[in-house]
Structure 1
Amino acid sequence: MKRLATPDAASGILFTALGALGVVLSLQEQIGTAARMGSGFLPLTLSCGLLALGLVIIASGLRSTDNEAVEIGGMRPVAMLLLAVAVFALSVRNLGLGPAVFLATLIACYAEARPSLLRVLAFALLLALFCTLVFIRGLGLTVPALVLPWIS
């Protein structure tokens, strides 16, 4: 059991769990065939790849002779990035693409130990503007750029 606490095995477990979740969720969509792909075909394929990659990384971690254990402090970047993705997913429809990218970037920047507040705010603002221009104006994505709930 101690060998599963190595960084390789821990990341492999995370990849395997996310791949398995992706497989389960993508099976709720139409898969189709390789010639006529449904909406679940690509997510299923990518999730299977992530699951397989996770299993390979777990096997590599179990074979490793490295006794380095995962430290709780080392989990901060992973936790912040997962939280940023969750915040983006939960806020993009309610707040719009710009604010969702801004919030997710703010959270993701705190994966670093001591980020500069001014740099984080500037980066989040520029990334939100860039994503809004590229995805909404350039590619015509049908997500609102900004949702103002008090204005109907």
Structure 2
Amino acid sequence: MKKVFSLYILFIALIFGGCQNEDNSANTVGEHNNVPDYTPSSEDVEDMHGEIKNKERFEEFLNNVEKGNKDSIRVVRYTEEGDPMLHDLEYDGEVIKSTTDTRRDKFGAGSISNATCTSAEIVETSERTEYVLEGCDNTIDNIILVTWK
């Protein structure tokens, strides 16, 4: 009888322990929801699955970097589900400060990463053109934008 009672107590403890873990995971989801909504700006460069809006502004930013003129820009890439991932680039006349914010991606890790890079380069292939950051102090996804031919 003691063995049955002990097993019963152990079973109840496991159930309560499992319920508590579910509560903790719910809190993590709640924290993800505390990220402020993204409000698009007319200045933003938007990449909606290869369809680029405001590409002229992006080219203006690249020209300013090439000439050594200070400038800043936001590139917004959308996930397949439509979640915005923000990539802010600020050129101070010498280096490009890159901040990538993926906290609004409901299916991703949701983080903010920073890097300082020395330049932005254009890499062309027969299928696409990639705009990439070079000489970065952190290992990051250095692709800023991709256009398909």
| Fold similarity call, TM over 0.5 | no
Query: TM-score interval w.r.t. the shorter chain?
Result: under 0.3
User: As a proportion of its length, which structure holds more strand?
Assistant: 2
Larger radius of gyration: 2
Could you tell me the TM-score, scaled by structure 2's length? 0.22
- Give the TM-score normalised by structure 1: 0.22
Q: Which structure would you say has the larger RCO, counting Cα contacts within 8 Å and 6 or more residues apart?
A: 1
